[in-house]
Chains A and B, each alone.
Chain A
């Protein structure tokens, strides 16, 4: 999928919990807050210790990083997105 297609998919999934796999193997799990031209911003659902994705990376072109409004993942770094099946009582 192209950056444009990930952009529209992320728009559609706003407010939903997703798992985003990146080209470098990192996995980000969180709720989509917003999307801009280059990034999708997530509210994480887990602390960093369980994931490759959080806690490091910084604002590289293909990295992720904390900014205003959550964790930003570069749209160009995304390899796949899936909706999470979460269970609540």
Chain B
């Protein structure tokens, strides 16, 4: 089988598979006004690490969505073990299975980058309430690179596009977001702590070929250090 990077994340069941991990998620949310009344969508929830944290910590209404059935099942397991009332379903960011103006906040943790943003970002806007906030941690192109290099990155991650910060800004503005605040996330090589380390919910049979994906991912992130970077976009 020809596995993708996202297959790797799903079968290894990597929780917190985004730059900054759970630690960054906590920091970003601490700056927001989240109450018990908040209705929040964790789009591309993966195995549900972020959703579980939010439901547990804030006690608000959390909806979790992912296009991958394997991770949705793993997220369901996590939520039922922790007895958290989170609505989780399989679905597509490009046509979100929710009515207009459903959410006060949408969190996309390295998710939008993997989708066709021309379809996804307007869906975020549609399902957010008028004062709603989109928090997105996404990959950006930091400096011009050759077509060949760009092609390697996009092919490996199956990114439909690889945008600069300015291009992301334009896409958010285009979808109707008025205020876009951008901050840079600098990956650190600090020793991780137990509380914030990625958690793995392994599938029963791990094909050895998936190890090649992990290796190539590590090679690519190393090779393109400084050429690809990460931003937090806060759009309202």
Contacts and interface: CB of A to CB of B under 8 A. Distances in A.
Contact of A89 (B189, B191, B198, B230): B230
A34 to B, nearest CB: 10
A16 interface: yes
Contacts of B48: none
Interface stretch (B10-18, B34-42, B82-90, B141-149): B10-18
A45 B208 CA distance: 9
Interface in B2-61: 9, 12, 14, 16-19
A43 B206 contact: yes
Interface in A1-40: 12-13, 15-17, 31, 33
Q: Per DSSP, are chain B's interface residues mostly helix, strand or loop, or mixed?
A: loop
Contact of B194 (A45, A47, A83): A83
Contacts of A44: 211
B197 interface: yes
Q: Per DSSP, are chain A's interface residues mostly helix, strand or loop, or mixed?
A: loop
Contacts of B192: 83-85
Interface size class of A (residues with CB under 8 A): 20 to 34
Interface string B53-89: 0000000000000000000000000000000000000
A15 B187 contact: no
A57 to B, nearest CB: 17
Contacts of A83: 191-194, 197
Interface residues of B, number: 33
B215 A13 contact: no
Interface string B169-212: 00000000000000000010111111001111110001010011
Interface of A: 12-13, 15-17, 31, 33, 43-47, 50, 82-89
30 contacts: A12-B194, A15-B200, A15-B201, A15-B202, A16-B194, A16-B197, A16-B198, A16-B199, A17-B200, A31-B12, A31-B200, A31-B202, A33-B202, A45-B214, A46-B211, A47-B208, A47-B215, A83-B193, A85-B189, A85-B191, A86-B198, A88-B16, A88-B17, A88-B198, A88-B217, A89-B17, A89-B110, A89-B113, A89-B139, A89-B221
